[in-house]
Amino acid sequence: MSIAAVSRRTLVKASAATMAGITVLRFAGPARAFQTPESGAVVPWNDQLADNPVPEVIVKQLDWESLDSWITPNDQFFIIKHYDEPTIDVSTWALQISGDVANPMSLTLDDLKARERTEVTFTLECSGNTGLPFFDGGIGNAVWAGTPLAPILDEAGVSDTAREIVSWGADSGEQTRGDSKITEYFARSLSVEDAMNPANLIVYEMNGEPLPPLHGFPARLILPGWYGVNNVKWLTRIEAIDRRFQGFFMALDYVSIYQEPHGDEMVWTFTTVGRDRLKSAPARVLDQDGDYLVQGAAWGAEIAKVEVSVDSGAWEDADLTTDGSDPLTWTFWTYDLGSLASGEHTISSRAISATGDQQPAPDDPRLATKTTYFESNGIITRRFTAA
Ligand SMILES: Nc1nc2c(c(=O)[nH]1)N[C@H]1C(S)=C(S)[C@@H](COP(=O)(O)O)O[C@H]1N2
Ligand SMILES: [Mo]
C-alpha cells in the first residue's frame, strides 16, 4: 500500500473521530495501550545501555522498560539535535519557500495554521537507533498536525529544472570541510518527486500541543515513512534547486556504507539514510508470580506477524495487541513465556511484513558488512534473569 493511500485512510479515521467528538480518545488511547496485567513486575534487562557520551546530541531516549502507552507522551519522546538549540522569535519567524520556484512565498505560523489541517499518527525512529551501545530509545509514536507540503510547493510553482527540495533548519554549527572550518546550517534534501508525496506535512502540533521547542517549534517537516533525520526541525527555508544537495548531513553524516555483491566482487556502496526499515524489539519482561510475559513493538511496514525466540529456540508467534495494518505506526505485541528455569535467558523478536519481508538477522550481508551504525534494523536479542 502506498504511503499516500495510508495517509488518506488515516485522515478519514481522524475526521470521523473528530465529528463524533472523541478526539481526546486518540491521545489517551486506552484501547491502544498494552493490555498490561494488573500484577507483574518489570524484570530489568541485564544488557542495560552504556553511558551516553553525547548527551547534548542524544538529549532524551524512550525508556523501553516503562513503555505502557501506544502514543508516546511529549515529555517521554526522544530528542536528537546535532547543534545547539536555535533561538527563534515566532513574532518575526516566517518559512521561506524559495529557489527555483515561480512564486517565492513567506509563510508565518498563522499562515501555516490557516491552511488545510492534516493529522498523521507516525512512529518516528532515528536511523542511528540500536546501532550504538548507548542508544536504543530513539523512537516514539505521536499524532502530528500541520499542513501538507505539496500544495505549498504547487503554489510556489517548482520549476521544471528543479531536481531537489532542500529543507533548512535554524540550527547551525561548525564543520570541517577539507582545510576549512565553516558554519553550516542543518539541512536535508529530497527529490522533487519524494517531496511532492501528499503525506508530507509541515507540522506545528505534536499530540495536540504546540510543537515543543526541542521538537522543532514553530514548524518541522514530518515525512511519514522516512527515518528521523529527514524530518527537519526548526524550519526556516524550503528551497528548490537544480542540482543535488551535498550538505554535511546528506553526504558525510547519515550515510550507510556497506558492501554489495556484484558478480564475484563485493563492492562498497554509499547511500544516504532514507525510508524506515522493517524492525521490532522486545520492550520489557513482566514477572507475574513466576509466569513471564514479554511485550514489544514492531514497525517500519505493515506488520503481519511478529515471532519470538527464547534462548535461541524455535520461532513462535507473538500476539499482536494493536492493529498492524498501518505501516506508519508501530504495532505492539506480547508473548507468554510461562514459567522459566531460574537463571539468565535471551529473547529475540523478528517482524514479518504484510508483503512477506522478514526483519533481517544480524548476519544479513548488508548489515554484516555495514561500517556505519545507521539503518541497523537487524534482529535484536535481549537478556534477563528469571528468579
Ligand atoms: N534542524 C534539525 N532537524 C533535525 C535534527 C537536527 O539536529 N536539526 N535532527 C534530526 C534527527 S537525526 C532526528 S532522529 C529527528 C529527531 O526528532 P525529535 O528530536 O523530535 O525526536 O530530528 C531530525 N531533524
Ligand atoms: Mo537521527
Measuring from atom 11 of ligand 1, which residue has the nearest CA?
229
pLDDT grade for 36, boundaries at 50, 70 and 90: low
Is the same domain home to 147 and 72?
yes
Is the same domain home to 184 and 326?
no
Is the same domain home to 208 and 166?
yes
Beta bridge partners of 144: 120, 206
CA 210 – ligand 2 centroid, Å: 22
| 227: in domain | yes
With a cut of 50, say whether residue 19 has pLDDT above it.
Answer: no
Ligand 1 lining (C-beta closer than 6 Å): 77-82, 124, 126, 169, 171, 186, 215, 228-229, 231-234
Residue from 56, 77, 81, 139 whose mutation best tests the ligand 1 pocket (most atoms within 8 A of CB)? 81
CA 321 – ligand 2 centroid, Å: 28
Is the same domain home to 88 and 236?
yes
Please give the average per-residue pLDDT across 271-295, as a whole number.
Answer: 97
Backbone angles phi, psi at 72, to 5 degrees: -85, 120
Point out the domain boundary residue: 190, 224, 246. Answer: 246
Is the same domain home to 112 and 16?
yes
| Residue given cell 547543534 in the structure block | 83
Please give the average per-residue pLDDT across 274-290, as a whole number.
Answer: 97
Tell me which residue of 287, 212, 219, 292 sits closest to 40, measured CA to CA: 287
Any idea what the CATH number is for the domain that residue 344 is in? 2.60.40.650
Tell me which residue of 182, 197, 201, 240 sits closest to 120, measured CA to CA: 201
With a cut of 90, say whether residue 14 has pLDDT above it.
Answer: no
Point out the domain boundary residue: 229, 246, 263. Answer: 246
CA 229 – ligand 1 centroid, Å: 5
| 92: in domain | yes
pLDDT tens digit sequence for 117-134: 999 999 999 999 999 999
Pairing of strands 235-241, 95-99: parallel
Point out the domain boundary residue: 246, 265, 287. Answer: 246
Contact 290, 309 (CB under 8 A): no
Measuring from atom 18 of ligand 1, which residue has the nearest CA?
79
Query: Which listed ligand is nearest to 219 at the C-alpha?
Result: 1
Is the same domain home to 339 and 203?
no
**Cell of residue 171, nine digits:** 540550527
Query: Which listed ligand is nearest to 235 at the C-alpha?
Result: 1
| 111: in domain | yes
Interatomic CA distance for residues 286 and 321, integer angstroms: 16
pLDDT value at position 309? 98
| 263: in domain | no
Contact 228, 124 (CB under 8 A): yes
Is the same domain home to 114 and 227?
yes
Beta bridge partners of 363: none
Is the same domain home to 89 and 216?
yes
| 366: in domain | yes
**Sign (positive/negative) of CA torsion 320, 321, 324, 327?**
negative
| Domains of the chain: total | 2
Is the same domain home to 215 and 287?
no
| 41: in domain | no
Is the same domain home to 213 and 167?
yes
| 292: in domain | yes
pLDDT grade for 365, boundaries at 50, 70 and 90: confident
Tell me which residue of 233, 157, 230 sits closest to 194, measured CA to CA: 230
Interatomic CA distance for residues 81 and 52, integer angstroms: 14
pLDDT tens digit sequence for 247-281: 999 999 999 999 999 999 999 999 999 999 999 99
Note down the domain range covering 348. Answer: 279-386
Closest approach atom of ligand 1 to CA 215 = 20
Any idea what the CATH number is for the domain that residue 202 is in? 3.90.420.10
Is the same domain home to 241 and 338?
no
| 39: in domain | no
pLDDT tens digit sequence for 157-187: 999 999 999 999 999 999 998 999 999 999 9
Contact 236, 219 (CB under 8 A): no
Q: How many CB atoms lie within 10 A of CB 50?
A: 10
Is the same domain home to 300 and 176?
no
pLDDT grade for 10, boundaries at 50, 70 and 90: very low
